[in-house]
Amino acid sequence: MIKFSASEKPKDVDFLGLAIRKLGGSPFHMTANHEIVYLDGQTPPTQAEIDDEIIRLQAEYDAQEYARNRATEYPALAEQLDEIYHNGIVSWKAVIKVTKDKYPKG
């Protein structure tokens, strides 16, 4: 199973919970001892299935890092509209390109 230190694990992503839900293993809850308890008598996913799904979800999350970075760097929507209104689309594209070049895809 993938282990994260407090500084490594993204604070906004619960890969374990998400993996279990994606594999159809919900509803469930986690005990204070970090044990997963499945409800409704369902057959839980295997640990190997959970580990594989966590790896897939982590890769998907990592592949979108550029998009998360861009989202925080782009000017506010009101500023972008103001740029378009006063200087036109070509000027707006130049403003946006700075962020796109800073955080390229893939």
Task: Taking each helix axis as running N to C, give the angle between helix 65-73 and helix 47-63, from 0 to 180 degrees, rounded to the nearest 10.
Answer: 40
74: left (phi over 0), alpha (psi -120 to 50) or beta: beta
Is the pTM value of this prediction over 0.85? no
Supply the pLDDT for residue 13: 65
Whole-angstrom distance, CA of residue 82 vs CA of residue 95: 12
- Per-residue pLDDT tens over the stretch 65-79: 999 999 999 999 999
> What six digits make up the tokens of 45?
């996913």
Note whether 57 and 19 are within 8 A (CB).
yes
- Per-residue pLDDT tens over the stretch 32-83: 777 777 777 777 888 899 899 999 999 999 999 999 999 999 999 999 999 9
Tell me how far CA of residue 16 lies from CA of 7, 8, 34, in angstroms.
Answer: 17, 15, 11
Task: Give SS3 for 40.
Answer: coil
